């Protein structure tokens, strides 16, 4: 039996509206077509849990209680709370939940109310991550977000009353967003005193509606200098308010309130991804499911694992990913061998902290966080 910590990700691919910037594996009801029922989705996911358990047993990787569970999407809370509860129950009854396990769902502010949030807590959820993105109406409109900013304080209060930890997600660098707009959003978050904050730079992906609008000249493209200024402003405001960064895009009030599921990704722990397009990582093997919900349901209903492709990581890939992922964490990355000889120069350039570098650890400064890809490239090379 492996001793590597084990987590579960459950992908819920449904959205009421497709946001213009989103390239995730999500679908609105009009895009799905026949054979991919939202009503039967939870039962299909539960069936995949049973198939996954059989595969873990076959590989000799069973027997580990689940440390973290994360529902992402899409908008998981478009499903009835009873469906989400049945999926948590399947994970718990199949593998067991570790004591103090973290169970998170993403939610849009307009997809839940006090009744649903209380029901989520009763079902075993411990955290909710709200997709706030911005507090400024014109920025939300550019992102095609449907909620009213005034809804966010309400859902945060309801979540707290239900006994759930609260995370708020922001996006910076939206076309047309000024630095003052961004300050408004960060200050609105701080006024709500959430347990955890995520802030992600907008990436305009090919194939999205926003990419087409930029190509047609309807919207300006992403400005790297503008995004860097906004990151620095967020980091200043968050740290002044007592939030510590623990990963490049994430801050928490205390170490206990960090998102343990995401930390597990950055530390290359094992996890099984349930749902269409979901990715998994087990003992140096990576695999991912077929993307379309219809094809996914057909495979599972036939009693087959819905895996599309897999790859066994080479020692070189494992070493590279250790740098790529580990460098993002506040603890830094112990570096040995030839790469370790780079640390003094990286410290001189202000990319890693000098004291940590002297101890053989690459711990990013704020400048290093902004240029993390450069640091990774040099250490890997």
Q: Where are the domains of the chain?
A: 6-266, 316-380
Cβ atoms of residues 104 and 127 within 8 Å: yes
Tokens 């740290």 correspond to: 239
Answer yes or no: is pLDDT of 1 > 60: no
What is the model's pLDDT at position 337? 82
Cα 46 to Cα 24: distance, rounded to the nearest angstrom = 22
Phi, psi of 179 (to 5 degrees): -65, -35
What pLDDT does residue 26 have?
83
Is residue 30 scored above 60 in pLDDT? Answer: no
CA separation for the pair 198, 210 (Å, rounded): 22
Mean model confidence pLDDT for the chain? 94
What average pLDDT does this structure show over 123-145? 96
State the Cα angle at 81 between 79 and 83, rounded to 5°.
65
> What angle, 0 to 180 degrees and rounded to 10, lies between the N-to-C axes of helices 179-192 and 224-240?
30
* Burial readout 197-220 (b: 16 or more C-beta within 10 A, e: otherwise): bbbebbebeeebebbebbeeeebe
Evaluate if residue 188 carries a pLDDT over 80.
yes
Stated pTM of the model: 0.94
252 pLDDT above the threshold of 70: yes
Q: Which CATH number fits domain 6-266: 3.40.309.10, 3.20.20.70, 3.10.450.30, 3.30.300.180?
A: 3.20.20.70
Kindly indicate the confidence band of residue 98, based on its pLDDT and cuts at 50, 70 and 90: very high
| pLDDT tens digit sequence for 312-331 | 999 999 999 999 999 999 99
Q: Residue length, the chain?
A: 381
Contact 72, 106 (CB under 8 A): yes
Q: Model confidence over 36-63: pLDDT tens digits?
A: 678 899 999 999 999 999 999 999 999 9
- Residue 178: its pLDDT value, please? 97
pLDDT over 90 for what percent of the chain? 88
What is the distance of C-alpha 349 from the center of its chain? 31
Residue 116: is its pLDDT beyond 70?
yes
Question: Of all helices (H) and strands (E), which one includes residue 101?
Answer: strand 97-107
Q: Tell how far CA 201 is from the center of its chain.
A: 13
Residue 10, pLDDT > 70, answer: yes
Residue with token string 């490049």: 248
Write out the H or E segment, with its range, that includes residue 261: helix 260-266
Calpha distance 200→335 (Å, rounded): 27
């Amino acid at each position: 039996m492996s001793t590597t910590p084990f987590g579960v990700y459950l992908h819920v691919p449904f959205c009421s509206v497709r946001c213009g910037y989103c390239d995730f594996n999500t679908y609105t009801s009009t895009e799905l077509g026949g054979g991919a029922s939202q009503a039967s989705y939870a039962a299909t996911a539960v069936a995949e849990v049973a198939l996954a358990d059989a595969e873990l047993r076959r590989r000799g990787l069973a027997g580990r209680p689940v440390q973290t569970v994360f529902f992402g999407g899409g908008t998981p809370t478009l499903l009835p709370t009873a469906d989400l509860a049945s999926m948590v129950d399947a994970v718990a009854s199949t593998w067991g939940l570790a004591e103090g396990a973290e169970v998170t769902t993403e939610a849009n502010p307009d997809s839940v109310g006090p009744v649903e949030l209380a029901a989520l807590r009763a079902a075993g959820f411990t955290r909710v991550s709200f997709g706030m993105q911005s507090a400024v109406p014109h920025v939300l409109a550019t992102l095609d977000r449907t909620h009213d900013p005034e809804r966010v304080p309400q859902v945060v209060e309801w979540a707290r009353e239900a006994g759930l930890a609260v995370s708020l997600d922001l996006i910076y660098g939206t076309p047309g967003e000024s630095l003052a707009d961004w300050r408004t959003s960060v200050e609105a978050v701080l006024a709500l005193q959430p347990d955890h904050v995520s802030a992600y730079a907008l990436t305009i992906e090919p194939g999205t509606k926003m990419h087409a609008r930029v190509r047609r000249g309807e919207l300006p493209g992403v400005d790297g200098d503008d995004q860097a200024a906004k990151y620095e402003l967020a980091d200043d405001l968050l740290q002044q308010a007592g939030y510590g960064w623990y990963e490049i895009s994430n801050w928490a009030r205390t170490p206990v309130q960090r998102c343990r599921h995401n930390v597990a990704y950055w530390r290359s722990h094992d996890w099984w991804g349930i749902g269409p397009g979901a990715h998994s990582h087990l003992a140096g093997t990576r695999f991912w499911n077929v993307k379309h919900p219809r094809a996914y349901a057909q495979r599972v209903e036939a009693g087959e694992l819905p895996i599309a492709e897999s790859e066994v990581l080479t020692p070189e890939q494992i070493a590279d990913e250790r740098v790529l992922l580990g460098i993002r964490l506040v603890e830094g990355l112990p570096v040995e061998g030839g790469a370790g000889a780079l640390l003094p120069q990286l410290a001189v350039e202000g990319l890693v902290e000098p004291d940590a570098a002297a101890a053989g650890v690459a711990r990013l400064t704020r400048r290093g966080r902004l240029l993390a890809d450069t640091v990774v490239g040099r250490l890997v090379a």
